[in-house]
Chains A and B, each alone.
Chain A
Amino acid sequence: MIKTLKQFSKAQIMAWLDAIKDPEIPVISIADLGVLYDVQVEKTTVEVSILPTYSGCPAMDSIQEDIIKHLQKQGIEQVRVKIINSPAWTTDRITEQGRQQLHAYGIAPPQSKTGQPIACPQCQSTNTTCISQFGSTACKALYRCEDCLEPFDYFKCHV
């Protein structure tokens, strides 16, 4: 017998999905990162749409698995994850809370919204230099603080 999913609301499922973190930056949820796009509750299946950050990002596979496992734990057996390329993900989708979490974790958040200079997440100095436009993962660039001399990751602007 197939259970119908009427008893699950979209808001409830969204709230559950908020527990899923980015596997490479485990302090920010996929919702705050702007990767979680939509949830559709169908008769027997829940469809979760996600926007991949970078097209080669290996974290997307593990995010898909996490979504399926997590919802199955809540009793939703049939979960389908749909990857959407349009609208394309941009860093403007990262929430204010997400930006604060990145900063607290030691990653300077993207500055496309504010146009502010890139501040060192350790000492807040804006006297910083880009060392490489490409960092340890596709979404980050490598910076150095000229005051405290610490290198740090900058979550680069992607618009």
Chain B
Amino acid sequence: MKKAIKHYLLRLADSSLTQSQRLAEWCGHGPFLEEDIALTNVALDLLGHAKLFYEQAAEISEQDVSADDLAFLRDVDQFRNPILTELPRGDFAYTTLKQYFFDQFNVLLYAELMNSQYQPLAEIAEKALKESRYHLTRSRDWCLRLSLSTAEAKQKIQSALDDLYFYTPELFETDDQLKQLLADNVMPDMQALKQQWQQQVDQLLQQCQLQAPTSGWLATGGLRGEHSEYLGYMLADMQFLQRAYPGCEW
């Protein structure tokens, strides 16, 4: 079971880390100062969540590894995040909608994980949920604001929806190890979670007067370490320092 838990902790950690890294890329590029600060604030919270998950994964690792080793010294095929979180940041509408999908997922997930039989995970979820709720308020508001404003903004967020929509089912993917964790009440039933998520998303899309696409390429593979080419570039950027100067701190 320890191995399965570590696998799941890495899934959660890698998701938050890659999402955080994409948001952090906005630093200095936000549409205006307050929003620049908001984007990096959310990035920092997500980095904090990733750190908590990595620390716990390191704690139960058989090898002597640290949270930093897990974040900065693993290769693409060892990352377990869904492809959604490694996609390029795109424009502001694209980032906003991607963030909304992720926030809505996390808020529902962490509320369930608070009841996990695996106590360390329940405790991290309790902490992360409070922050994710705050993120969700922001990303929802921005979806509405963009969708219901100018024709250009609406067109941009509709186009983001067309691009991103079929990356979202992967958030709920499971494998044999995760099914074992469900049986052991470590993690919730992802199909039930997906229904709740879909309901929330449908409601918002309706309020935003946006149309979800009806067909597209269905993303899959992150849980097995099969990623898009984007992750390699991201890791090259993010891991450069630790790889060039192992153990470097400041």
Contacts and interface: CB of A to CB of B under 8 A. Distances in A.
A56 B34 contact: no
B189 interface: no
Nearest to B34: A132
A86 B126 CA distance: 7
B130 to A, nearest CB: 6
B34 A134 contact: yes
A57 interface: yes
A85 B52 contact: yes
B37 A55 contact: no
Interface in A57-73: 57-58
B38 A133 contact: yes
Contacts of A84: 123
B44 interface: yes
A37 to B, nearest CB: 13
A56 B127 CA distance: 11
Interface string A132-154: 11111010001000000000000
B48 A57 contact: yes
B231 interface: no
Contacts of B48: 54-57
Contacts of A54: 44-45, 48, 131
Contacts of A135: 37, 41
Given A86-B122, A142-B34, A159 B130 contact: yes
B35 interface: yes
Given A85-B52, A85-B124, A55 B38 contact: no
Nearest to A56: B48
B6 interface: no
A23 B52 CA distance: 22
Contacts of B51: 55-56
A131 interface: yes
Given A54-B48, A159-B130, A136 B37 contact: yes
Contact of B130 (A88, A133, A142): A88
B22 to A, nearest CB: 15
B196 interface: no
A85 B126 contact: yes
Given A56-B48, A132-B35, 8 more contacts: A54-B45, A55-B51, A55-B52, A85-B52, A85-B126, A90-B130, A134-B138, A138-B44
Interface of A: 52, 54-58, 84-88, 90, 131-136, 138, 142, 158-159
